[in-house]
Structure 1
Amino acid sequence: MFFRPKFRTSQRYTRRGFRLRGNTLIILFGFFMVGLFLHYKGRTEPVVAFWNDVRSLLGIGRSTHERTGTNPYKAPEPTTDEASDDRSSGTDSAESEASDSQSGSSESTGTATRSSEQRTSGKLFDFEKQVDFILPSGHDDDELVRHDGYTLRYDTDLKNPLWVAYPLLAYEITGDADRDTERFVPDPAVDGGTALPSDYTKSGYDRGHQAPAGDFKFSQQLTRQSFFMSNISPQAPQFNRGIWKSLEEQVRAWAFRDGGLYVVTGPVLRKGLPTIGRANEVAVPDSFYKVILYCRKGASPDIRMIGFLLKNEPSDESLKAFVVPVSSIEQATGLDFFDKMPDDLERRLKMQSRSQMVSQWFD
């Protein structure tokens, strides 16, 4: 006997509203990431920084290093009775200045890699490829500390960085990172301990950034790390907010114009300096320096170096007045900058006169 199979009566389903089918969300996300990658011209670092900031906002996927690097010292700093680092407007003006500059003209191993892969020229001199090329030599007994955005050597006796070194790339000085949400905190990476924010209370000195927060606006995490006390030195308020701020803005403008620079900066330290501090004796430097290097390899190679040495006091002078041979800064600090360069090139760059450096960088 033949039985006709029974079929279930078909039912009609209706869909209300808009719904994405299958893998549409995944595809859209993929297109978004590709677009983001293309927006940054194939450079991976800003894409990674964007993803890290998204993770930070969502509170997911943070590493142990990130948790231990920020949470233990999150107590608010004193705000009512100490000389503050009131410079939030400086980053905005620096970004505007950098944009004007662009329109006017068309360490870690990780840090070295960041510099190497992101240079606008796409080519490096052999000496740039060496590990820790950017780090000065000298005072090697002091503690070496590596962070994501910069590397430093810290004097735990004087509670100051000897130097802070980092590559500064054009895209890093623009972004939405907010320095006003951050607080100065001790650096958990320094075994010997850093100064405390309270050491500056009623001292009459600002907590002066060496690697400024404005150099890391593309990432909130790197901005946060710039507030570690290992990156801070006592600076006279009108110096910090005046000529030193102007120099930081000028360096950012050059980085925007040229695509990228190497920066080494810090205080000039010596025994017998006056000190401030409640829990620690923090040496107050007489002066501060910056050494800037630009390298471009290609059909028309270009290597430029310039040094600045400034007294820790207010000044109405032009920045050009503080340009000095880099060899003079080496004599004052006992450091050797960019010593992995060929000797003849290193000697020539470090012995240049003020007029030569001013014409190369300012004109």
Structure 2
Amino acid sequence: MFFRPRFNTKKYARRGFRLRGNTLVLLFVFFLIGLFLHYGGKTKPVVAFWNDVREIIGLRRSHAEKEESNPYRAPEPDSDVATDERPEPSASESEASDKRGRRSSKTKTNRESKIVRFEFEKQVDFILPVSRSGGELIRHEGYTLSYRDEYKDAEWVAYPLLDYETTGDADRKNEQFQPDRAAANGTALPSDYTRSGYDRGHLAPAGDFKYSQRMMRETFLMSNITPQVPDFNRGIWKELEDLVRTWAVRDNGLYIITGPVLKAGLPTIGKANEVSVPQKFYKVILYCNKPDIRMIGFLLDNEASESSLKQFVVPVDQIEQLTGIDFFPKLPDDLERKLESKGRGEMVDEWFSN
């Protein structure tokens, strides 16, 4: 005689927890928990990952979600009042740009009421310098640069810096340096700087693109990176970058061109590539708000300094002679000569006293 249970064991097994059917769900949940813990309790990466997964598997957002701005995305402009430099967003990014643009519409309206553009500003590529070297022109969404492959350095990086672009929730903490695939012959590698004694110094600073994580990520491309003495990069150079952002807020927008002074015979670092170590760096800054216009130049040695930034102000003509670069060539000739020949005292009075 065999004992027969009163309940159906097969039926019970079917209704119970089936490991094979729930393994993927469990793994996904544990992955999200691990991602949350990995980023120190921040929800932004988890939310971003979940949104990407929903798009991949085809889960559409509800109507309410479409109408509501994403609180985890920094505002981005839908147009640029200071320059025509930046390319139009691609179709795949247009929806995201529109949502972020709504958050900055009030700021944009206020800025438009304060800024009056000159006619020469409306020229295509107004901000771009002209160089005798014939460097490779590389355009990114946030900035444009001229890359010198023989030095594995950019000779200049140019971009407009608007007031609202210096604020936002973009964070450099989890960004990594990457080779720039847009360069025809490749760029330096992050490993070229390892144990070299030099920092991977930004030309277009990450802090100038806090309004967009995507554009901040672009600043970590190695075409935008140059060898800088650590105490210089983290000291006087950072002080200058902070000052420029302060001026951009004060003046509702500036044009920025920055780069190293490149020449033959510079020392090099690198394992896979020979990366030239510049001895000097410059910044050229232009402010336009019709009828007001002013320009200032900075030239700094690649070394630590405790001096005032005013001591590094030089005529833009001097930087042009050192670099062989013509800055803002689309300015009217008479106006360009006037702005670029101003002495330190006059520029200091114009920029530091306001």
TM-score by length of 1: 0.69
Distance 1:221 1:272 in 2: 36
Amino acid corresponding to residue 295 of structure 2 in structure 1: M
Deviations 1:7-35 (A, max 9, x none): xxxxxxxxxxxxxxxxxx747854x46xx
Distance 1:311 1:140 in 2: 22
- Who is 1:323 aligned against? 313
Amino acid corresponding to residue 307 of structure 1 in structure 2: G
- CA, structure 1 residues 120+323, in 2 after alignment: closer, same or farther (shift >3 Å)? farther
Amino acid corresponding to residue 359 of structure 1 in structure 2: D
- CA, structure 1 residues 344+192, in 2 after alignment: closer, same or farther (shift >3 Å)? same
- Asked whether 1:287 is paired with 2:280, we answer yes
Deviations 1:277-324 (A, max 9, x none): 000000000100000000002xxx210100000000000000000000
CA contact (8 A) 2:115 2:252 kept: no
- Who is 2:11 aligned against? none
Equivalent residues in 2 for 1:190-229, closer than 5 Å: 190-229=183-222
Please give the secondary structure, in 2, of the residue aligned with 1:295: strand
CA contact (8 A) 1:118 1:169 kept: no
- Who is 2:325 aligned against? 335
- Who is 2:89 aligned against? none
Deviations 1:135-189 (A, max 9, x none): 0001352110000000000001100000000000011010010101100010011
Q: Percent identity?
A: 62
- CA, structure 1 residues 287+26, in 2 after alignment: closer, same or farther (shift >3 Å)? same
CA contact (8 A) 1:307 1:324 kept: yes
Please give the secondary structure, in 1, of the residue aligned with 2:208: helix
Stretches of 4+ aligned residues off by more than 6 angstroms:
none
- Who is 1:306 aligned against? 296
Query: More relative contact order in 1 or in 2 (CA 8 Å, sep 6+)?
Result: 1
- Who is 1:121 aligned against? 114
Deviations 1:305-346 (A, max 9, x none): 000000000000000000000000000000000010111110
Aligned Cα RMSD in Å? 2.4
CA contact (8 A) 1:158 1:283 kept: yes
Equivalent residues in 2 for 1:184-195, closer than 5 Å: 184-195=177-188
Distance 1:251 1:119 in 2: 21
TM-score by length of 2: 0.71
Amino acid corresponding to residue 345 of structure 1 in structure 2: L
Please give the secondary structure, in 2, of the residue aligned with 1:252: helix
Structure 2: which 5+ residue stretches go unaligned? 1-61, 70-74, 81-91, 95-107
Aligned residues: 264
